[in-house]
Structure 1
Amino acid sequence: MPAPQKTVRRSLLVASATLLSLSLTAPAALAAPSPGPSASASPGAARSAAPPANMSTVGGTRLGQPGTQVNLASGVPVLPKDVTARSWIVADAESGEVLAAHNAHWRLAPASTLKMLFADTLLPKFPSSMTYKVAPEDLADVGAGSSLVGIKEDETYTVHDLWLGVFLRSGNDAVHVLSAMNDGLDKTVREMNEHAEELQALDTHVVSPDGYDAPGQVSSAYDLTLIARSGLQKKDFREYCSTLTAKFPGETKKNKKGRTVRETFEIQNTNRLLTGDYDITQYQGIAGVKNGNTTNAGATFTGVAERDGRVLLVTVMNPQKDEHNEVYKETARLFDWGFQAAGKVEPVGELVPPRGAVRSDGRPGATATAPADTGEAGGAAAGGTSRAPVASAATESGSTGMGIALGIAGGLLVLLVGGTFLVNRRWPLPDLVRRRR
């Protein structure tokens, strides 16, 4: 590895968790099967199709080649043999180096991992304390069988509540409500496609902002990794994607005493590398990001983890082995390989900066600006919302501290200032401080 890319190192405080035995009630699927086939994949034959001979070469020529790309040499561990995904990538989140990849630019259905792009696009638009009353038309186009957080018509939610619903429960209902606040699905889809182009995620085409299967909706392991890397530079994105459990507002009802009350219910993250499950343990150092599962996409997942001061991103799309939690098991194997190989293996490509970004090595980009690190968005979307949000400083839903990102001293952090995207440098990931049972 080039030495300059390894000079800025700061260890992140990550406490190892005891194994969590959560009784999760979330369904495995994070978006609904589509009634029609996707342009990128369909059940059966399409899933077994070979990758195109010519794919995008963004990030390096080898990343556009079909098959596994890795530079094995003396001292470099052999890749795990039991990885069956159609496409995957292992990258250093700090330097942007791609350590290994398999069909990295194969355009496939992304499922709910596409919600990372939705969040990276819309998070800066609305402050977390803003409240919004849901109208029936906001939920009219939610696909049949979608994963839902449980939003009710004519109830009021904070933006904080809605983002918890997006990240923890992969709630398509929450996506549609936030899209309504952004003046509709069409505008949201357009902005997501524009943002994908800005990030140079050129394999990605958005049709439905929630990741629900739709003809022509595609992304790639490379693009999802770029998108995750961009999103993780936002403080609120980091906090939401690393939250294990939270309290979500229920329906307003009258209790037995005739009083109007609104109780909360617990929602839990469906990312099994964060929570663990009966056949998989919580992954040491995991800090997000997003999972998905549809008929056309199969299981998809992008994760970020830290170990010994090194942060890796892994994306896995559509494992062919039909076992419970297989996408997480294959991701864990690739993380293990990446942490062993980092510093030893010669990269096969890189995660490119957004267009117009200023790199830490001084090389310029093209024209667009990158998102700044945000703790809380500063205002609403330009042009307002379809209905004025309720102006109130509502209390945010309580969320447990097990997976919440903690503040890290700013002096050692590299922030995004003045629209510049400082690649090859570290941004603050959550310290995963867990409670022991």
Structure 2
Amino acid sequence: PAGGDALDGCDVVAPDGFDVPRDVTASSWMISDLDTGEVVAARDPHGRYRPASLIKTLLATVALDTLDADRVIEVTDEDLVGAEGSLVGIGPGGQYSVDRLVRGLLMSSGNDAALVLARRMGGVEETLEAMNAHAAGLGAVSTHAATVNGLDGPGMMSTAYDLSLIFRDAMSRPEFAGIVGTEMSGFPGYPAGEGADAPDPASAPALTGPTTRGDGTVVNPGFVLANDNQLLYNYPGAFGGKTGFTDDARHTFIGAAERDGRRLAVVLLDGTRVPASPWEQAALLLDAGFDTDDSVGRLVTGPPAGPGAGTEHLASGPLGSVGTAAQLDPSSTRGPVLVRYGPWLAVGAAGLV
């Protein structure tokens, strides 16, 4: 398994003396060092789960690598088609820099921001291809993004190991690290113009409803955007992370903190809010990680060598598509079951009938 032999399996793997907090309910989790890549402890690190909005860390990385952060985008009604779930509050006629959109994506988990960014990178399908290619390039070969915003879709999956890789890579970008570590940020209203400017969080006016300009245009005013990662406000040394939830994924979470110069990140998948909320469970695991000096593996960045090492195998099983010469040769010992044994299966089925 990627990361070392100790990471094979579904049970907890941890150094001697590491005590798993009893209130941690996530089916899969991993604590890793952001600087060295060492895996401090984990549970079911390669188990595949729905990531929910944690996949937005991957989208944000691709967006920051592709688009100029200062580029201003004027949003249209078409940009927002399909926006549902958690929304940051983008509207038609609004003008938003790429930096503002990524803030709405990461701080408020805005599904509307995800769609606007994707449509400025060539479209949703093209963006998904870029996200999956970037994940595969990192070595996150058990990750498949089926939606740009983290809503559940066919084949949507990731692992605690993969998301640790993805988050570590994202945090190497100062723009990303700065955004996920921000508690408050001004966000524009719409349509652009008078009354729609993003307010200064330090001197924001009292919250007001829509106003009307002299020409009769109704304006939704700018507002202060608060980061929904509660670890930032409640855990000493916290400096970033991402929240997530869908019905299938249940609660997911990434959190990062620094203590005595050591920077740890924790990923939780398939979790609950009882007996503790996701950020509180993350805090418990971070405490345990900071109390541990040993490790059980290491994050390995880069695609694994060998055939079938990328993400193309995720959408197919033993009855998958036929492509190689070996798969097309029925006498070969390799290839899909239907190609190798199709005639015999047909005879058996006829006999059974």
Pairwise same-fold verdict (TM > 0.5): yes
Give the Cα–Cα distance (whole angstroms) in 1 for the partners of residues 302 and 265 of structure 2: 17
CA contact (8 A) 2:251 2:273 kept: no
Q: Which residue of 2 aligns with 1:197?
A: 136
Which of these residues, 80, 92, 105, is aligned with residue 139 of structure 1?
Answer: 80
1:61 aligns with 2:5: yes
Q: Residue 26 of structure 2: which of 72, 85, 90 is its match? A: 85
Q: Which amino acid aligns with 2:34?
A: A
For 1:327 and 1:320, how far apart are their aligned partners in 2?
7
Match of 2:227 in 1: 269
Q: Which residue in 1 is equivalent to 2:15? A: 71
2:52 to 90, 111, 127: 111
Q: Which amino acid aligns with 1:102?
A: R
CA distance in 1, matches of 2:113, 2:23: 36
State the partner residue of 2:288.
Answer: 337
Distance change (3 Å), C-alpha of 1:257 and 1:211: closer
Tell me which residue corresponds to 1:211: 150
For each residue in 1:330-351, what CA deviation from the matched residue of structure 2 results, as whole angstroms up to 9, or x when unmatched?
110000001111x2x2x21111
Gaps of 5+ in 1: 1-56, 276-281, 357-366, 369-437
Q: How far apart are the structure 1 equivalents of 2:173 and 2:273?
A: 34
Aligned counterpart for 1:327 among listed residues 278, 287, 301: 278
SS across alignment from 2:256: strand
When residues 137 and 90 of structure 1 are mapped into structure 2, their CA distance, relative to the original with a 3 A threshold, is same
Q: What is the root-mean-square deviation of aligned Cα atoms in Å?
A: 2.1
Share of identical aligned residues, percent? 37
Residues 358-410 of structure 1: CA distance to partner in whole angstroms, max 9, x if unpaired? xxxxxxxxx99xxxxxxxxxxxxxxxxxxxxxxxxxxxxxxxxxxxxxxxxxx
How many corresponding residue pairs? 287
**Partner SS for 1:251:** coil
Match of residue 163 from structure 2 = 224
Q: Determine which structure has greater relative contact order: mean sequence separation of CA pairs < 8 Å that are 6+ residues apart, divided by chain length.
A: 1
Structure 2: distance between partners of 1:141 and 1:63: 39
Moved over 4 A (4+): 253-257, 259-262
Q: Which residue of 1 aligns with 2:112?
A: 173
Deviations 1:181-235 (A, max 9, x none): 0010000000000001000001100110110111210001111110000000000
The CA deviation at 1:236 is: 0.2
Corresponding residue of 1:258 = 214
C-alpha distance 321-247 of structure 1, shift in aligned 2 (>3 A): closer
1:148 matches 2:87: yes
Counterparts of 1:188 and 1:137 in 2: how far apart (Å)?
17
Q: Give the C-alpha shift of residue 77 in structure 1.
A: 4.3
Q: Does the 8 A contact of 2:272 with 2:278 survive in 1?
A: no
8 A contact 2:255–2:279 mirrored in 1: no
| Amino acid in structure 2 at the alignment position of 1:235 | P
Rounded to whole Å, the distance in 1 between the matches of 2:76 and 2:190 is: 14
**What is the letter of the counterpart of residue 189 of structure 1?**
L
Q: Does 1:354 align with 2:302?
A: yes
The equivalent residue for 1:360 is none
Q: Secondary structure at the match of 2:19?
A: coil
1:262 is displaced (CA, Å) by 7.0
TM-score normalised by length of structure 1: 0.63
Decide whether the 8 Å contact of 1:60 with 1:349 is kept in 2.
yes
Q: Provide the rounded CA distance (Å) in 2 between the counterparts of 1:297 and 1:256.
A: 42
1:326 maps to a residue whose letter is S
Distance 2:91 2:272 in 1: 37
Superposition deviation, residue 316 in structure 1: 1.0
CA distance in 1, matches of 2:282, 2:213: 51
CA contact (8 A) 1:317 1:327 kept: no
Q: 1:256 to 1:291 in 2, by over 3 A?
A: closer
Distance in 2 separating the partners of 1:209 and 1:263: 27
- Tell me the equivalent position of 1:291: 243
Cα-to-partner distance string for 1:88-138 (whole Å, 9 max, x where unaligned): 011111111111110011100000000001111221222222111112221
The residue number in structure 2 matching 1:306 is: 258
Aligned to 2:46, the other structure's residue is in SS state coil
Measured in 1, the distance between the counterparts of 2:113 and 2:22 equals 39
More displaced stretch, 121-130 vs 110-119: 121-130
Q: Does 1:249 pair with 2:188?
A: yes
Residue pair 1:244, 1:274 contacting (<8 A) in 2 also? yes
TM-score (norm 2): 0.77
Shift of 1:322: 3.1
Conserved 8 A contact 1:273-1:286: yes
User: SS state of the match for residue 126, structure 2?
Assistant: helix
Aligned residue for 1:99?
40
Is the contact between residue 86 and residue 320 of structure 1 (CA under 8 Å) also seen in structure 2?
A: no
Relative to total residues, which structure has the larger helix share, 1 or 2? 2
Q: Distance in 2 between matches of 1:315 and 1:247?
A: 28
Deviation at 1:256, TM superposition (A): 5.8
